Chain A
Amino acid sequence: EAEVAQSPRYKITEKSQAVAFWCDPISGHATLYWYRQILGQGPELLVQFQDESVVDDSQLPKDRFSAERLKGVDSTLKIQPAELGDSAMYLCASSFNAFGLGALERYTYEQYFGPGTRLTVT
Chain B
Amino acid sequence: GIQVEQSPPDLILQEGANSTLRCNFSDSVNNLQWFHQNPWGQLINLFYIPSGTKQNGRLSATTVATERYSLLYISSSQTTDSGVYFCAVEPSYNTDKLIFGTGTRLQVFP
**Interface positions of A (Cβ within 8 A of B):** 31, 33, 37, 41-45, 48, 55-56, 89, 91, 93, 95, 97, 106, 108-113, 115-116, 118
Are B42 and A42 in contact, CB atoms less than 8 angstroms apart? no
Are B41 and A108 in contact, CB atoms less than 8 angstroms apart? no
Shortest CB distance B56–A (Å): 14
Total interface residues on B, CB under 8 Å, equals 21
On whether A48 and B96 interact (CB within 8 A), knowing A91-B43, A115-B40, the answer reads yes
* Distance of A115 Cα from B31 Cα, bound (Å): 23
Residues of A within 8 A of B25 (CB): none
Q: Mark B45-81, 1 if CB is under 8 A from A, else 0.
A: 1001000000000000000000000000000000000
* Distance of A95 Cα from B33 Cα, bound (Å): 13
On whether A108 and B90 interact (CB within 8 A), knowing A42-B101, A42-B102, A42-B103, the answer reads yes
Are B30 and A108 in contact, CB atoms less than 8 angstroms apart? yes
Residues of A within 8 A of B42 (CB): 113, 115-116
Shortest CB distance B22–A (Å): 15
Main secondary structure of the interface of A (DSSP, over half): strand
Residues of B within 8 A of A109 (CB): 48
Candidate in A41, A43, A116 with the most chain B CB atoms within 10 angstroms: A43
* Distance of A93 Cα from B97 Cα, bound (Å): 11
* Distance of A55 Cα from B109 Cα, bound (Å): 44
On whether A42 and B33 interact (CB within 8 A), knowing A89-B41, A91-B43, A108-B90, the answer reads no
Residues of B within 8 A of A112 (CB): 45
Q: Which residue of A lies closest to B44 (CB)?
A: A113
Are B101 and A108 in contact, CB atoms less than 8 angstroms apart? no
Can you list 9 A-B pairs with a CB-CB distance of less than 8 A?
A42-B88, A42-B103, A43-B86, A43-B100, A44-B100, A56-B97, A110-B48, A111-B33, A116-B42
Judged by a CB distance under 8 angstroms, whether B98 is at the interface is yes
For chain B residues 87-110, which have a beta carbon within 8 Å of chain A?
Answer: 88, 90, 95-98, 100-103
Q: 10 additional contacts, CB 8 Å, given A41-B102, A93-B43?
A: A37-B41, A42-B100, A45-B97, A48-B96, A56-B97, A89-B41, A108-B95, A113-B45, A115-B41, A116-B43
